[in-house]
Structure 1
Amino acid sequence: MTRILLLGGTGDALRLARGLGSSHVYSLAGLGRVPGDLQCQVRVGGFGGAQGLAAFIAAERIELLVDATHPYAAQISANAAIAAEQAGIPCWALRRPAWQAGEGDNWHEVNDWAELIGALGDFQRPFFTLGREPLAHLHEIPEHQHWTVRCLDAQASTDRAEIIGDRGPFDLEAERQLFDRLNCDVLVSKNSGGDSTEPKLQVARERGLPVLLLRRPLLPAVSREFARRDELFSALKTVGVDSSA
């Protein structure tokens, strides 16, 4: 049986981890809740870059590295590819397709935070669903704006910003009610793909709201890439991984 190290932090990774037996290792960076219902081993925290990850792979006799991290976790994915090559094992990656604009969508891509802030200049009530990054810029909110930031970390709101601590999957009707309450005039998001957080895009479409999307980073080449979780499950079974999910 092939012993795997699963790099996680996403809903897809957790579903994979729930199907793994006790011989495998599920790794989390430490953000958010640590699941307590897994049969596999759980490791929390960083490895110390690619070299540290390669050392862990060797020490734990890992035979397959599976990268199921967030599409924007570019540094972790780069470290995974390097470490697997150094350790002489394959690296597989679950890379879900990006969302694609459809009829009625008003989407605009930006490359980084500076470009995003420039594009937000004409709006008054942006709704950020980028994760933690906006929290470092709350002191920079323009006088004419009020921000809403949804991320994993709940913290006190201010008169200039509301901070919502929550994680997907998000229900479509609940998202509609949230947009009603916020009265936002632009949605700010990463193009994460998947269905867990997609309802916000449907609500934006229904309301004719513009969406600013942070462009996806380039990710390294790996041994095999999978667009869907079930495809990765099937491939794991061919190498003897005891996944029952």
Structure 2
Amino acid sequence: MILLLAGTTEARILAGYMAEAGIKTVASLAGATRTPLAMAVETRVGGFGGDAGFEAYLDATGITAVIDATHPFAAQITARTARICAGRGLPYLRYERPGWRSRPGDAWHEVADYAGLSTIIPVGARVFLATGRQSLTQMAHLADRQLICRVIDPPEAPFPYPNGEYVIGRPPFSEGKELETLRALKPDWMVVKNAGGASGRAKLDAARQLGISVAMIARPAVPAGIERREQMLDALEWAAAHGRT
């Protein structure tokens, strides 16, 4: 059985293909979203409980291979999974969609991490954070900007910084919807993680049309020496070779 570490649109699509191909699969979701979209395969929700919990799960379920299709910025999950699989001699694949590339008319400013945002975004700027609720813990150095954070689920606590607010929205968003949102919010800057993906590109296209500056956070480094795929069919082929029933 293949363990599919999911949580991305691509992982959900891949799970559907794996189900159609008769590849015995269990998908794992971290549980960050309260009402995740359904998967086409058996699904578990929640963390494993650290290294020991993950290893115990692998032993208990007879997993024969792991496909890590988590978010491109889930660096800790990827590093841990790759390390444990290597130690066990368990086949491991990192499936990661290609990153975005700028186009003519884009006003992108790349930074290596969250810390670099304060070096390019002026004090007092109105900033649309398209980086999710969990990223707010990394934004204290932007507290003297006007922050707007888009989240999927309604917040359970007040915004953590002054001059800040949440907006609720569940992806995917069309370019038209993103234009509508940005025109209403009127941000000077948008903060985006270079997650890649066709659906997420809409906000960048909308920002280009409206002349909004984009602070693009570069992806974290992937552990050296691991097997990687960027194309869906390549990942499906790997899954078929390691888990067809």
**Does TM, normalized by the shorter one, top 0.5?**
yes
TM-score scaled by length of structure 2: 0.86
1:11 maps to a residue whose letter is T
Please say if residues 28 and 43 of structure 1, whose CA atoms lie closer than 8 Å, have aligned partners that are also in contact: yes
TM-score scaled by length of structure 1: 0.86
Q: Who is 1:89 aligned against?
A: 90
- After TM superposition, give the deviation of residue 204 of structure 1 in Å: 1.2
Choose which of 192, 195, 203 in structure 2 pairs with 1:192: 195
Q: Who is 1:65 aligned against?
A: 66
2:37 & 2:6 partners in 1: Cα distance? 15
- After TM superposition, give the deviation of residue 17 of structure 1 in Å: 2.3
Q: Alpha-carbon deviations, 1:104-161, whole Å to 9, x = none?
A: 112111223222123222552111101124533579621xx42211123322776822
Q: Who is 1:161 aligned against?
A: 164
Q: Who is 1:12 aligned against?
A: 10
For residue 18 of structure 1, give the secondary structure of its aligned residue in structure 2.
helix
Please say if residues 91 and 222 of structure 1, whose CA atoms lie closer than 8 Å, have aligned partners that are also in contact: no
Q: Residues 59 and 157 from structure 1, CA distance in 2 versus in 1: closer, same or farther, beyond 3 angstroms? A: closer
For residue 100 of structure 1, give the secondary structure of its aligned residue in structure 2.
coil
Q: Who is 1:237 aligned against?
A: 240
Please say if residues 72 and 195 of structure 2, whose CA atoms lie closer than 8 Å, have aligned partners that are also in contact: yes
- After TM superposition, give the deviation of residue 223 of structure 1 in Å: 4.8
Q: Residues 11 and 27 from structure 1, CA distance in 2 versus in 1: closer, same or farther, beyond 3 angstroms? A: same
2:195 maps to a residue whose letter is S
CA RMSD of aligned residues (A): 2.5
2:218 & 2:61 partners in 1: Cα distance? 36
2:87 & 2:132 partners in 1: Cα distance? 32
1:17 maps to a residue whose letter is A
User: Which shifted more, 43-52 or 53-62?
Assistant: 43-52
Please say if residues 12 and 39 of structure 2, whose CA atoms lie closer than 8 Å, have aligned partners that are also in contact: no
Output aligned runs, 1:136-175, within 5 Å: 136=137, 137=139, 141-142=143-144, 145-155=145-155, 160-175=163-178
Q: Residues 37 and 106 from structure 1, CA distance in 2 versus in 1: closer, same or farther, beyond 3 angstroms? A: closer
5+ long unaligned stretches in structure 2? none
Please say if residues 8 and 69 of structure 2, whose CA atoms lie closer than 8 Å, have aligned partners that are also in contact: yes
2:146 & 2:88 partners in 1: Cα distance? 49
For residue 86 of structure 1, give the secondary structure of its aligned residue in structure 2.
helix
- Please state if 1:177 is matched with 2:180: yes
Q: Number of matched residues?
A: 238
1:31 maps to a residue whose letter is A
User: Which shifted more, 32-41 or 168-177?
Assistant: 32-41
Please say if residues 90 and 223 of structure 1, whose CA atoms lie closer than 8 Å, have aligned partners that are also in contact: no
2:93 maps to a residue whose letter is W
2:134 & 2:128 partners in 1: Cα distance? 13
User: Which shifted more, 35-44 or 8-17?
Assistant: 35-44
1:186 maps to a residue whose letter is W
User: Which shifted more, 46-55 or 165-174?
Assistant: 46-55
For residue 27 of structure 1, give the secondary structure of its aligned residue in structure 2.
strand
5+ long unaligned stretches in structure 1? none
1:70 maps to a residue whose letter is H
1:141 & 1:127 partners in 2: Cα distance? 13
For residue 211 of structure 1, give the secondary structure of its aligned residue in structure 2.
strand
Identity %: 36
Please say if residues 129 and 188 of structure 1, whose CA atoms lie closer than 8 Å, have aligned partners that are also in contact: yes
